[in-house]
Amino acid sequence: MRLEGRVVIVTGAGRNLGRVYAKGLAREGAKVAAADIIDASGTVEEIEAAGGEAMAVSVDVTDEEATWGMAKSVHDRFGRIDGLVNNAALYQDLSLGPFFEITGEEWDRAMAVNLKGVFFCCKAVFPYMKDQEFGRILNIASNTVYKGTVGLIHYVTSKAGILGFTRSLARECGGYGINVNTVAPDYIPHERDNRERPELDEMNQKMRIIQRREGPEDMVGTIVFLLSSDADFITGQTLVVNGGAVMP
């Protein structure tokens, strides 16, 4: 197994995409900390039922002190922190509309979770990775950055920030043995999206070279790769996993 013995935190792992990522990492041998503002015990139960090892951590990524507590509890339990997958983000709960109708409050909400939350989580795990001279940080962005998707300028801007953040952080952390990369998927429908917005899923499928629905499982292989020793010489990069929807 490619992640045998490694300890990885996945934020936003209580449901949807994060739960799939956490389970995929556990299948590859990682000890997983499922971190979320909601109860992530269901994710832990599924991992343990499959023979893996995991723990649930309650955290609001916009609260810096809470992210420090998250990192400490994971290190106390497993003795190390090898990887961080910054998956927690606001998307479904954001208002859709032209930029001139988006409120400052809504803009700040998107930046607080999608960008500042990533910043806080990276700061929290850094001391542990620095001390062990090894770490893998993986940020989840979006290919809406390359599309310039209309109606989601707050979300798109927050995810564009992730690309620049990744490049700068990679340079700052490289001397400590810490690699930092980004994965950018296309639209991955959640259960609620399937009920309420099937036309969005269909439209995105038609824009891809591989014309089918993208699921969270399509991301797992790339995430595992970037956290594994196979990617030891890769840092500061963004890998687009989108079926060919855009080719930056």
Question: How far is Cα 29 from Cα 27, in angstroms, rounded to an integer?
Answer: 5
Question: How far is Cα 57 from Cα 39, in angstroms, rounded to an integer?
Answer: 8
Spatial contact of 27 and 56, defined as CB atoms under 8 Å apart? no
Kindly provide the b/e burial profile for residues 111-121, where b requires at least 16 CB atoms within 10 angstroms of the residue's own CB: bbbbbbbbbbb
Question: How far is Cα 81 from Cα 127, in angstroms, rounded to an integer?
Answer: 10
Is 91 marked active-site? no
Question: How far is Cα 15 from Cα 38, in angstroms, rounded to an integer?
Answer: 9
Which one of 21, 128, 146, 155 is the catalytic residue?
Answer: 155
Q: Sign of the C-alpha dihedral, residues 226, 230, 232, 237? A: negative
Instruction: State the chain's maximal CA–CA distance in angstroms.
Output: 50
Question: How far is Cα 71 from Cα 7, in angstroms, rounded to an integer?
Answer: 11
Give the 3-state secondary structure of 216-236. CHHHHHHHHHHHCHHHCCCCC
| Catalytically annotated residues | 155
